[in-house]
Structure 1
Amino acid sequence: MIRHAGWSLAVLWPLLAGSVQADDQLVRPTIKANRWQEDWSVLKDPALRTQPLDNLKYIPLSAANPYTYLSLGATLRERFEMNDASGFGVRDVPRDRYLIQRFQVHADLHLNEHWRLFTQLEDVRAYDKTTIGGADQNRVDLRLAFAEYVKTFNAGTFKARAGRQDFAFDLQRFISSRDGPNVRQSFDALWADWETQQWRFIGIASQPVQYQDGRHFDDKSNSDARFHMLRVERLVGGTNELSAYYGVYERSAAHYLDADGEETRQLLDARLGGAAQGFDWDVEAMLQRGSLGSKTIRAWAGGSRTGYTFD
Structure 2
Amino acid sequence: MIYPHATPVGQPVRTTGAQGRLYGRQYDWGVFNRGNGEAAGFGPVGRYGIAPWAEDWSRLRQTGKRSDPFDILKFIPLNKDGSVWLSFSGETRARNWFESRPGLGTQKVNDSGRFAVRNLYGADLHLGSHVRLFGQLINGNAGGWRPYSYGSTYRKKLDMQQAFIEFKWTMLHAKSGFLFGRQQFVGAPSYMMYNRETPNVPLSWNGFRGYMVWPRFRIDGWDFVQTDDSHNKMFHDGENYNNRLYGFNFTWAPPDGRFMHDRTYSFLDLFYIGYKLAGRNSAVATPTNGSSEGFNTRNNFGVRWHGLAGPFEFSLGGIWQGGVFRYARTNQARNVSGYAINTLVGYRIPKNPFHTFLGLQTDVYSGGNKNKTSGTIGTYISPFNPQTNYLDTTTYMTGSNLISFAPLIKATFLKSVSLQVKYPLFWRYSTQDPIYKSSGFYKFTQDFNGKFIGMAPQAALAWQITDHLSWTQYVSRFMTSHALNKAGGSSGTYYQSNFVFRF
TM-score where L is the length of structure 1: 0.85
User: How far apart are residue 92 of structure 1 and its match?
Assistant: 4.7
Q: 1:143 aligns with which of 149, 161, 172?
A: 161
Task: Look up the SS of the partner of 1:88 in the other structure.
Answer: helix
Give how far 1:224 is off: 2.1
Spell out the pairing of 1:125-144 with structure 2 (5 A cutoff).
125-128=141-144, 129-144=147-162
Say what the alpha-carbon RMSD is for the aligned residues: 2.2
User: 1:56 touches 1:71 (CA, 8 Å); kept in 2?
Assistant: yes
Amino acid in structure 2 at the alignment position of 1:43: L
Whether the 8 Å CA contact 1:28–1:42 is kept in 2: the answer is no
Equivalent runs, 1:155-234 vs 2, <5 Å: 155-169=173-187, 171-234=189-252
Asked if 2 retains the 8 angstrom alpha-carbon contact of 1:151 and 1:157, the reply is: yes
Partner of 1:277: 310
Q: Find the counterpart in structure 1 of residue 254 from structure 2.
A: 236
Higher RCO, 1 or 2 (CA under 8 Å, sep at least 6)? 2
Map of 2:94 onto structure 1: 78
The residue aligned with 1:301 is: 340
Aligned CA distance change for structure 1 residues 272 and 28 (closer, same or farther; 3 Å): closer
Which is further off, 132-141 or 202-211?
132-141
The alignment's TM-score, normalised by the length of structure 2, stands at 0.54
Task: State the secondary structure of the residue aligned to 2:104.
Answer: coil
Residue identity over aligned pairs, in percent, reads 25
1:255 Cα shift?
4.1
CA distance in 1, matches of 2:223, 2:109: 42
**What letter is aligned with 1:286?**
I
1:99 aligns with 2:125: no
Deviation at 1:121, TM superposition (A): 0.2
2:64 aligns to what SS in structure 1?
A: helix
Matches within 5 A, 1:17-32: 29=25, 30-32=47-49
Give 2:276's aligned amino acid: E
**Alpha-carbon contact 1:259-1:295 (below 8 Å) kept:** no
SS in 2 for 1:181: coil
Shift of 1:49: 2.8
Deviates more, 1:133-142 or 1:198-207: 133-142
Aligned to 2:16: none
1:38 aligns with 2:71: no
The equivalent residue for 1:52 is: 69
C-alpha separation between the residues in 2 aligned to 1:170 and 1:212? 24
Distance 2:137 2:305 in 1: 36
Work out whether residues 41 and 67 of structure 1, in 8 Å CA contact, stay in contact via their aligned partners in 2.
Answer: no
- Corresponding residue for 1:68? 84
CA contact (8 A) 1:260 1:292 kept: no
**How far is 1:260 from its partner?**
3.0
Inter-partner Cα distance in structure 2 for 1:155 and 1:166:
27
SS of equivalent residue, structure 2 residue 102 = coil
Gapped regions of structure 1 (runs ≥ 5):
1-10, 12-25
2-structure distance, mates of 1:200, 1:285: 20
Where is the strand percentage greater, Structure 1 or Structure 2? 1
User: Would you say the 8 A contact 1:138–1:212 is kept in 2?
Assistant: no
Q: For the Cα contact (< 8 Å) 1:269–1:284, is it kept in 2?
A: yes
* Structure 2 spans left out of the alignment, 5+ residues: 4-21, 26-46, 257-264, 285-289, 327-332, 351-503
Q: 1:93 to 1:156 in 2, by over 3 A?
A: same
Q: In 2, distance between residues paired with 1:27 and 1:184?
A: 24
**Aligned equivalents of 1:217 and 1:60: distance in 2?**
29
Between Structure 1 and Structure 2, how many residues are aligned?
286
After superposition, the Cα gap between the structure-2 partners of 1:274 and 1:53, relative to the gap in structure 1 and judged at 3 Å, is closer
Contact 2:166 2:179 in 1 (8 A): yes
For 2:191, give the aligned amino acid. Answer: R
